[in-house]
Amino acid sequence: MKIYTNQLVVFFIAAMLFYGCDNWIEGYDIDPNSTPVVSIDNLFTASQVNLFNFSENHLARTVAIWMQQMAGMDRQYKSLGLYSFEENDYSSSWQSVYINGGLKDLIKIQSMADEVGPRGARYKGIAQFMEAYLIGMAASIWGDIPYSEVLNEAIENPKLDEQFQVYLAVQNLLNEAIENLSYNLTSDTTIAPQNDMFFKGDKDKWKSAANTLKARYYMHWVETDITYCDSALFYSGSGISSSEGTMKTLHGTESSEQNMWYQFEQDRSGYMVAGSKLVQLLKNNNDPRDSIYYGKIAGSINGASPNPDDAESASVKGKSYLNEEYFGADASIDIISYEENLLIKAECHFLKDEISEAQQALQDAQTAAEEKWDFEEDTFPEISLTGTALINKIIEEKYIALFLNIELWNDYKRNCYPEVKYKKSEDDDGNPIYKYPPARVYYPEDERITNTSIPNITGQPEHNENDPEQCRIE
Amino acid sequence: MKIPYILLLFILSTFPLYSQVAIFGTVKSDDGKKLPGANIVLQGTNLGVVSDSDGNFTLDISQENYVISDGKLVVTYIGYITNKTTISDEVTFYNIVLAKDALDLSQVLVTGRGTISREALGVKVGTVSSNEIINSGESNIISSLSGKDAGIEITSSSGEPGSSTYIRIRGANTIQSSQQPLIVIDGSPIDNSTFGNSLGRYGAGQGATSTNRAMDINPNDIQSVEVLKGPAAASIYGTKAKNGVILINTKSGTAGENRITYRYTASNDRVTQQPKLNSKYGMGLHYGFFDDGGCDPNPDLSYCNDFALSWGPLLSSLSETDSINGYLVMKDTLGAYYRNGQIFDHTSDIFSDGGKEEHALTFSGGNESTTYYINFSKMKHSGFFIGPNNFYNRQSIRLNLDQAVDKKLSISGKMFYSVTDGSFIQMGSNVSGLLLGSYRTPPNFDNSVYLDPETDYHRSYINSSPEILTEGHGYDNPFYILHEQYNLTNVHRFIGNYETKYTLSDKINFLYRLGIDYSNDKRRYIFPPSSSENPMGLIDVQQLSTQLIDHNIQLNANKDFGRLNTNFTIGQNLNGSDYFRTGIVGENMSSYSFHQLNNTTDYMPDEYSEQIRTSSTYFNLTFGLDNTYLTVGMNRDGSSTFGKGNRFSNFPRASFSWRFSDKFKPPAVSKGLLRVAWGRAGSEPDAYLTKNAFSLSSYSDGWGPELSSNYNGYGGFVSGTTKPNPDIKPELVTELEYGMDLAFLNDRLNISLTLYKQSTEDAILYVPAAPTTGYAYELRNAATIENNGLEISIDANLFETVNQSFSTEINYSHNKNIVTSLAGAENISIGGFAGASAYAVAGEPYGVLRGNDWLYDHHLFWNNIDGDPFWDPGESTSDSAFALIPNPNIGHYLLDENWFPQMNPEETIIGDPNPDWLGSIRFSWNYKSTLRISALFDIKYGGDIWNGTKGALYYFGAHEETTKQTVVYVEGGQIIDGIATWDSGIKTWWEGQDVGSMTAADAQIVSEANGLLKFRGYLDNFSMYTDQECQEFSTDIPCVVAVTEEAYYSGPFSGFTGPASQFVEDGSYMKLREISMSYLFAGDLIKEFGVQSLDFALTLRNIFTWTAYSGIDPETNLAGTSNVRGLDYFGNPQARSILFSMTVNI
């Protein structure tokens, strides 16, 4: 009995020490809630939604408020309306550029497209276009940004590349994109993405959009050197040539696919209403786009402004929001439009003193607007303006036509239109001290505290290299 | 000692074969007190009885059992040394006297990982008895522990039946993982999660409350609760034990007579403390009245934000035909609901009496080999809100069976099944939350008519004449919330436990235990159309299930080497937990009352599952020499959540205890024990963080709009944004605990003193990563935390006679917590609000609140611009070395040019929610073992609470403190406020306008006549000078300012527009947690009716609270069981109850 007991005990202890049931915990490290394998289409869908988000989120609302197409009226949006912002306000846009369907996944799409060989050229070109869009726009917002050293496991602190270098790289990338989009096997058998929510895989439309984007990015440097207009004109020549070519977001009525401008009003009504600047401009011009853009309250369209100088419209009481018919749950917002392409031409022709071409381009842009909104022909008068009146009209038309488009901020930084300063206080002699929209926002705190290459707020410039003259003209 | 077989045979032969012999006796204490309820068991069998109210017992013994027992009767009673009495056939009456054991040292602790003598543990283990749990009247086992032991912090998230309760033992020892202890029932861990859901409709800070899963347990079934407070005690549970362990033992039957017990409980609940609201001023702004005609509605919402406030007219000054600013007072289409002069108290109109009713029927008993315990309980608990949607019902059955198969083998099976139904109310920071909608309603609006009589649509004060079904109202009418919104949960829970014990010899035994815990929670959240959170209407149907399997096998051996006893336990534990959730959210409801998904048109599915496996091999070795013990042990634990190659870690422990009173006794000391224990425990990371994967993404920027990456009929995935870390190690907590247990005055006074030092290393953190490296977060072992504390328990039986006793129990604990390092990060957010959030900040206690504070003047030098000796605003802007005059204003508010204080735009630490100390005192009086009266006071001293509710109510003009009126006399530009006369204007917040020049159109004026000016607000002086000093140094404007309505809703004096720090208050309280009185009838009178005993008890719970906190009951936590503490933002309030119970024993 005693021997038997001892054997059993020894066996038991040995079993525990040596066997230990380590297998019990094996095989549970694969997350059932995510997938280790994705298709190129999966990544592409998310990357497109990421782009919709980038074009319509807080950054877009900020631009619309600063440009006074909309008015920030309540709580934090009131201070936004008074041109204040916080370091972390645009961190979700920053993330959209690099992760969450941004650069990281776009690069993955490109390498997956490469694996397919030549047939992947179209897919690759589209992904390169999207990369160029995000990186170029990021460079327009933040100036110097990390690009050459990003997404590299070995580099913990990706350095800032100069804004100009980033634009050069982006222009090159767009060249490659155009090349890939032009790639023609004997009979075109390049793979057209089934889930292309912009152009249904139409590579010509993508190519035109890429050309307009190139033109846009050259425009971003016209303030430093007017000869960039030559390139802008060159590329706009092969740019978007009809309304069908306009690249825009896609939405549906389901709650996870609704237009973010619409969702914002559902969630935070009263934070933001129609901006009196654009409302007044449209009214003064008898421009019927006022009732396209904005909703009516008791039969009229009313805009507000948080500016203290503009006290009569300082309440949200009775103020309009967007017109639900055109800017409702499933409405699309333009990202790069036919009108933009025309108005880039108009502006550059004017700057190159090619007045009749400028007039024609402006005329075409207005015709495009007439067609777009189904107005009667010649709703807008024939353009015969010249000189300052003409350029003002071109800039004004772009301000109207690129409604809710984040590109407006770049136009503002170049042309300082519209005039949106307000009187903040007075100096000792009683002269007014004005406040203007910022020319740049801070790098997000998330990046600053984790990447030693990012300077502190105080070490960051107030304006970017492509915007040498801040809009502070009295 | 063994009886020789020969002698045994001799004794046996004197018993008639297979016959029964009855023995009788009484059990008394060594001071002559009868001991009712003592356990008398024949050694080695399940045969036993419990002494009656006079301490008497009768026991029938068969010959066979007599043999098994070696002729020994084992008598146990809590607090007394176990007595073994030898019985013989010649004596049938036994007078058993138990000696008091002041320190409970003889008892053993069944930890579920072996059995160990309490003394050998080397730590102080808190014990809470069945009576203490039952008498507390709480339905939640966790809540019933409050005030029962030192070092335990318990907070109920609200007084709603079924709401979750937070428990934290010995301070915060982690940054981002859970702080809730492991709960073990009958040796097997159970789930105590509090699940929110993926959509935040149930969860911290918003949504409806949710239940912590331990609430499924029926307190009637509990025999005792033991609390292993820190790793020094709990290390045997390895990776799961860093927060301590709560060991719950359920009741078992006792052999002998079958007993039937019926217990009935009924309670009445009422709401406790609430803030005081404005009862004077109506809806509106600038003293103007809300009026449909004066406010062009927003096309989407048809109401105006401007008028959502209570800065309107003084109601008592109005008559029905009055008009203000051209608008009639009673302009609402339902005029009657703006009743002139009638005031509705929105702190009371939504409440009524709640209460519970519970029936518990117990059968127990058995024979020498089999005992059983069966309990059926049914509880219905309705909350204190009006309306049908606020209840928590629980039905449960428990069956515990113990079978002694033979002398060597015993098995037991325990099964528990419960069904709970809960219905909860939306609360917190949520536009469909109850108190947010209720408290902010102006006092002249009657919320009770919540449906429009014409359209039958939801009406609220902001939208009193709704015309569209699917429009939000800004904030919901609380009556609509209480009647039309549903947040339902239906939980089926099974907890089973099988155990078998095989005694190989008197030195060696094996134990095998298998525990299973399964729950299935069906939830349904309904926001009918027009709910402000979901105006289109939303139905969210979720199903959550958890499954825990715990397998435990162990061997225990003991051997004596002369005076040295050794005990060795080795065992293995395998544990598997599975969590699974599926749900569908349907949107766009077409009618109020149809609550199925079929009433919606848009659907969003949700699925999540998680499986974790842990494995543990452990041993414990105890050496005992006289009453000195040394124990060493080690766990080798692994978890599937670690990377391959890193899955296992070792958790060692050691303890030592010495009963020094055996060697020498200091004067007056009757017993003394010194103990020291050291141990390490840990926690594992979340599942699935060791590998890269692609997942769905949701795009949002924090403002509400959201897009899903599954889009337009296509599936969309993105690369994971948390950087996988296969090298992650367990979060480790190491604890050193030491202390002393002393008994004085013949054990009448017992003092237990414990000191501990806990250090957390490698705390697991989601550290923000640079998005440019490809990730938003990175999982790292990063932080270190320290907790040092002191716990004192005093138990004094100072007055004791044969008939009565009076005793006092005191618990005190103090914990000092500091986050020592955060791997370089300055601070890490734990959660909270835009106004105030909880953070881990290096060098500060865990969970400090950060937010905006006032701007203070830190300039060292005074730039004395005007050269007068009087500092005034605008003059302290220089740190220049050229301005060498010391700044007189240093440390004071940095005032703006109108002498108002300003908000510091940078966030700083504004509060610490950790209490300085916790304490409790219980007084008990016991008369003749029949009448028992006890009172328990619970104290929390220190610990800040951000009264965000008050901050918001200030903005709305809905708090009583915003209704102050001030009268000043204006004459020739002078302002006379009754005390002083001011030469020039006192500034208001509104563009620095002078009080004297305010007119009715400026809104702040309540009345104006003959130079007397009465305004809503008050005069205050924020400067470093007294009013008199201000007068003496004549400056441009006086330093007194007028705080008027603008200063609240657009100036610095509200929670939305001003610093959060002004709403941080001390959350100290003392509560009369329980008063209970019970009377036991056990005489012959009732025995004639076949009733053994009858017990009546009355308990008053949370009946008084003494606190300076001005919000709801300071025992509040909006964030439920999350790690965020000290936030008060329209959370549902607490309850106080009166409970009556009756127990019949047959």
Asked if B890 and B857 count as a contact pair (C-beta separation under 8 A), the reply is yes
B653/B662 Cα distance (integer angstroms): 26
Q: Give the DSSP H/E element, type plus range, for residue B10.
A: helix B5-14
Q: Computed from CA positions of residues A320, A326, A328, A331, in that sequence, does the dihedral angle turn out positive or negative?
A: negative
Asked if B429 and B436 count as a contact pair (C-beta separation under 8 A), the reply is yes
Q: Does B549 touch chain A (CB under 8 A)?
A: no
Q: In Å, how far is A35's CA from the nearest CA of chain B?
A: 5
Q: Does A53 touch chain B (CB under 8 A)?
A: yes
Mean pLDDT estimate for chain B: 84
CB atoms within 10 A of CB B260: 14
Listed in order, strand segments (DSSP E) in B912-1063 are 917-927, 931-941, 944-947, 965-971, 974-976, 981-982, 987-988, 1005-1009, 1012-1021, 1040-1044
Instruction: Give me the mean pLDDT over the B582-608 stretch.
Output: 89
| A56 chain-B contacts, CB cut-off 8 A | 705
Question: Per the CB < 8 Å rule, is A53 touching B305?
Answer: no
For residue B1051, the cross-strand partners are none
Which residue type sits at B428?
G
Tokens representing A417 are: 């239109």
Pick from B91, B95, B87: nearest CA to B34: B95
Instruction: Give me the mean pLDDT over the B970-978 stretch.
Output: 67
Please tell me the predicted confidence (pLDDT) of residue B996.
72
Nearest to A5 among B504, B636, B688 (CB): B504
B266/B268 Cα distance (integer angstroms): 7
A116, pLDDT greater than 50: yes
B318, pLDDT greater than 50: yes
pLDDT in tens, B997-1031: 766 544 455 566 667 777 888 889 998 888 878 77
Q: Give the DSSP H/E element, type plus range, for residue B379.
A: strand B370-382
Q: In Å, how far is A164's CA from the nearest CA of chain B?
A: 19
pLDDT band, residue B18 (cuts 50/70/90): very low
The burial of A23, by beta-carbon neighbours within 10 Å (0-12 exposed, 13-18 middle, 19 or more buried), is given as exposed
Please tell me the predicted confidence (pLDDT) of residue A206.
97
Question: Residue with structure tokens 């909006």?
Answer: B1118
Please tell me the predicted confidence (pLDDT) of residue A436.
93
Q: Does B570 touch chain A (CB under 8 A)?
A: yes
State which of B42-51, B197-206, B918-927 shows the largest mean pLDDT: B918-927
Best A2, A6, A16 member to test B by mutation, with max B CBs in 10 Å, is A16
Q: Does B711 touch chain A (CB under 8 A)?
A: yes
B1138, pLDDT greater than 90: yes
Q: Does B1090 touch chain A (CB under 8 A)?
A: no
Best A45, A48, A427 member to test B by mutation, with max B CBs in 10 Å, is A45
Q: In Å, how far is A409's CA from the nearest CA of chain B?
A: 19
pLDDT in tens, B463-478: 777 888 888 787 899 9
Instruction: Give me the mean pLDDT over the B577-587 stretch.
Output: 92
B586/B588 Cα distance (integer angstroms): 7
Question: Residue with structure tokens 């006793």?
Answer: B805
Instruction: Give me the mean pLDDT over the A120-144 stretch.
Output: 97
Question: Per the CB < 8 Å rule, is A257 touching B712?
Answer: yes
Question: Per the CB < 8 Å rule, is A29 touching B296?
Answer: no
Segments in B911-958 forming alpha helices (H): 948-956
What is the value of ipTM here, to two decimals? Answer: 0.94
Pick from B1049, B1059, B951: nearest CA to B306: B1049
Q: In Å, how far is A172's CA from the nearest CA of chain B?
A: 21
Q: Computed from CA positions of residues B463, B464, B466, B472, in that sequence, does the dihedral angle turn out positive or negative?
A: positive
Using alpha carbons, list the distances in angstroms from residue B687 to B244, B612, B639, B725.
21, 7, 10, 11
Instruction: Give me the mean pLDDT over the B71-78 stretch.
Output: 80
Instruction: Classify A391 as helix, strand or coil.
Output: helix
B326, pLDDT greater than 70: no
Q: Give the DSSP H/E element, type plus range, for residue A10.
A: helix A2-14
User: What DSSP state is assigned to residue A130?
Assistant: H
Question: Per the CB < 8 Å rule, is A450 touching B770?
Answer: yes
Nearest to A25 among B300, B647, B688 (CB): B647
Q: HEC profile for A133-157?
A: HHHHHHHHHHCCECCCCCCCCCCCC
Q: Is the bond preceding residue A418 a cis peptide, omega within 30 degrees?
A: yes
The burial of B669, by beta-carbon neighbours within 10 Å (0-12 exposed, 13-18 middle, 19 or more buried), is given as middle
Q: In Å, how far is A338's CA from the nearest CA of chain B?
A: 24
A49/B711 Cα distance (integer angstroms): 7
CA B288 to chain centre: 44
Q: In Å, how far is B212's CA from the nearest CA of chain A?
A: 24
Question: Per the CB < 8 Å rule, is B776 touching A99?
Answer: yes
Asked if B538 and B521 count as a contact pair (C-beta separation under 8 A), the reply is no
**Among the listed ranges B98-102, B103-107, B526-530, B611-615, which one has the minimum average pLDDT value?**
B103-107
Q: Please report, in angstroms and rounded to a whole number, the separation of the first and last CA atoms in chain A.
A: 106
**Among the listed ranges A67-71, A327-331, B3-7, B411-415, which one has the minimum average pLDDT value?**
B3-7
B830, pLDDT greater than 80: yes
Please tell me the predicted confidence (pLDDT) of residue B1026.
84
Q: Regarding predicted confidence, which is higher, B770 or B178? A: B770
A21/A18 Cα distance (integer angstroms): 9
Diameter of chain B measured on Cα atoms? 119
pLDDT in tens, B837-851: 999 999 999 999 999
The count of residues in chain A is 474
Listed in order, strand segments (DSSP E) in A224-332 are 247-248, 272-274
Q: In Å, how far is B1100's CA from the nearest CA of chain A?
A: 44
pLDDT in tens, B230-254: 888 888 887 788 899 999 999 988 8
Instruction: Classify A46 as helix, strand or coil.
Output: helix
Q: Give the DSSP H/E element, type plus range, for residue B620.
A: strand B602-625
Residues 6+ apart with CB under 8 A from A385: A359, A393
| A50 chain-B contacts, CB cut-off 8 A | 697, 699, 709, 718
Q: In Å, how far is A73's CA from the nearest CA of chain B?
A: 11
Asked if B330 and B342 count as a contact pair (C-beta separation under 8 A), the reply is no
Using alpha carbons, list the distances in angstroms from residue A74 to A317, A320, A383, B834, B1049.
12, 15, 40, 15, 11
Please tell me the predicted confidence (pLDDT) of residue B641.
93
| B572 chain-A contacts, CB cut-off 8 A | 16, 20-21
Best A53, A264, A265, A333 member to test B by mutation, with max B CBs in 10 Å, is A53
Please tell me the predicted confidence (pLDDT) of residue A461.
95
pLDDT in tens, A203-233: 999 999 999 999 999 999 999 999 999 999 9
Nearest to B296 among A8, A265, A317 (CB): A317
The burial of A252, by beta-carbon neighbours within 10 Å (0-12 exposed, 13-18 middle, 19 or more buried), is given as middle
Please tell me the predicted confidence (pLDDT) of residue B335.
39
For residue B228, the cross-strand partners are B245
Instruction: Give me the mean pLDDT over the A50-70 stretch.
Output: 97
Phi and psi at residue B661, in whole multiples of 5°?
-65, -15
| B711 chain-A contacts, CB cut-off 8 A | 45-46, 48-49, 197, 256-257
Nearest CA in chain B to A109: B718
Nearest to A264 among B574, B703, B826 (CB): B703
Residues 6+ apart with CB under 8 A from A372: A243, A339
Residues 6+ apart with CB under 8 A from A32: B609, B610, B611
pLDDT in tens, B81-116: 778 888 877 777 888 888 765 444 446 677 767 777
CB atoms within 10 A of CB B916: 13
User: What DSSP state is assigned to residue B98?
Assistant: E
Tokens representing B340 are: 């002139």
Which residue type sits at A155?
I
0.80 exceeded by pTM: yes
Please tell me the predicted confidence (pLDDT) of residue A17.
60
Q: In Å, how far is B1002's CA from the nearest CA of chain A?
A: 15
Q: In Å, how far is A29's CA from the nearest CA of chain B?
A: 5
Which residue type sits at A259?
N
pLDDT in tens, A301-355: 999 988 877 766 777 777 899 999 999 999 999 999 999 999 999 999 999 999 9
pLDDT in tens, A378-412: 899 999 999 999 999 999 999 999 999 999 999 99
**Among the listed ranges A114-123, B439-448, B651-660, B881-890, which one has the minimum average pLDDT value?**
B881-890
Q: Give the DSSP H/E element, type plus range, for residue A424.
A: strand A422-426
Please tell me the predicted confidence (pLDDT) of residue B1101.
92
Tokens representing A306 are: 């948080």
Using alpha carbons, list the distances in angstroms from residue B92 to A255, B52, B190.
82, 18, 46
B627, pLDDT greater than 60: yes
Instruction: Give me the mean pLDDT over the B498-524 stretch.
Output: 91
Please tell me the predicted confidence (pLDDT) of residue B11.
45
Please tell me the predicted confidence (pLDDT) of residue B157.
80
Q: Give the DSSP H/E element, type plus range, for residue A203.
A: helix A203-219
Mean pLDDT estimate for chain A: 92
Nearest CA in chain B to A58: B701
Phi and psi at residue B297, in whole multiples of 5°?
-70, 150
Question: Per the CB < 8 Å rule, is B770 touching A257?
Answer: no
pLDDT band, residue A2 (cuts 50/70/90): low
- Percentage above 70 pLDDT, chain A: 95
Nearest to B709 among A26, A46, A315 (CB): A46
Instruction: Give me the mean pLDDT over the B854-878 stretch.
Output: 80
Question: Per the CB < 8 Å rule, is B699 touching A296?
Answer: no
| A153 chain-B contacts, CB cut-off 8 A | 773-774
Q: Does B580 touch chain A (CB under 8 A)?
A: no
Tokens representing B753 are: 């003193």
The count of residues in chain B is 1146
